[in-house]
Amino acid sequence: MAVDPPRYAPGLPLPGRPFKPGAGQSRPALPSFAPPCRGHPKAESDEAAGLPFRYGVDLFNGGYWWEAHEIWEDLWRRSPRGTARNHLLKGLIMLAAALLKGSSGMPRGRRRLLGRGLEYLRRAAAGEADPIPLGVPLADLIARYQAWQQQAEQLQSHAALLAGMPRLWLHTDEDSRPHRSPGG
């Protein structure tokens, strides 16, 4: 039995329902996170990125993939290009986009974006001295999504695919090892 990850930003509410582009819904209002330093918008510190990043993780784990994408994209734009953090954020954005495509009945888009997302996560792991940037245990995340990608090719039902989708588990200061579920 898989255990759900905890909420990492419990003070911020999740939207009422996930947004699906093209479904006639209005876009949800998301919290605005001001840039950490007006003079140097790309100088994003771990502390400044913490709350919006964790909120994005909560959105992602809750199936709010468009919303997670939006939150992380803002952080990605402010991160220096070519850095491990920039690659990590881009990889997570692409994972969220892959899941959104899959939930919209676009398996080819899901496969393409999932492959690109994994490539960015590999780049982040290769360029990162810290194996757990922003609390993300990269090696574990890559391994779980590679396994899920292989499983995805065997499953016909998107619902079955989502049931086995790995969640994002973050390393926290209260724990000396990454939080993770045996099932994802």
Quote the strand ranges of the chain, DSSP E.
none
pLDDT in tens, 104-115: 778 788 889 999
Nearest to 102 by CA among 37, 61, 153: 153
Q: Is residue 21 part of a domain?
A: no
Regarding predicted confidence, which is higher, 105 or 176? 105
CA distance 147 to 165: 10
Cα distance between the two ends of the chain: 10
Compute the mean pLDDT over every residue in the chain, rounded to the nearest whole number: 80
Q: Is residue 77 part of a domain?
A: yes
The yes-or-no verdict on residue 67 having pLDDT over 90 is: yes
Q: pLDDT-based confidence at 43, cuts 50/70/90?
A: very low
Q: Is residue 17 part of a domain?
A: no
Is residue 128 within 8 A of residue 138, CB to CB? The reply is: yes
Q: What is the pLDDT of residue 158?
A: 64
Q: Say whether pTM exceeds 0.85.
A: no
pLDDT in tens, 159-175: 666 777 788 889 876 54
Q: What are the distances in angstroms from CA 123 to CA 6, 59, 129, 143, 171? A: 27, 24, 12, 14, 20
Q: Is residue 79 part of a domain?
A: yes
CA distance 98 to 114: 5
* Residue in the block written with tokens 């709350």: 51
Nearest to 97 by CA among 127, 66, 128: 66
Q: Is residue 56 part of a domain?
A: yes
CA distance 59 to 171: 17
Q: Is residue 8 part of a domain?
A: no
The yes-or-no verdict on residue 42 having pLDDT over 60 is: no
pLDDT in tens, 72-85: 999 999 889 989 99
Q: Is residue 176 part of a domain?
A: no
Nearest to 127 by CA among 79, 71, 63: 79
Q: What is the pLDDT of residue 183?
A: 43
Number of domains observed in the structure of the chain: 1
Domain that holds residue 125: 49-163
pLDDT in tens, 106-149: 878 888 999 999 999 999 999 877 778 888 989 999 998 888 88
Q: Is residue 120 part of a domain?
A: yes
Q: Which CATH number covers residue 104?
A: 1.10.3450.10
What is the percent of the chain with per-residue pLDDT over 70, rounded to a whole number?
A: 78
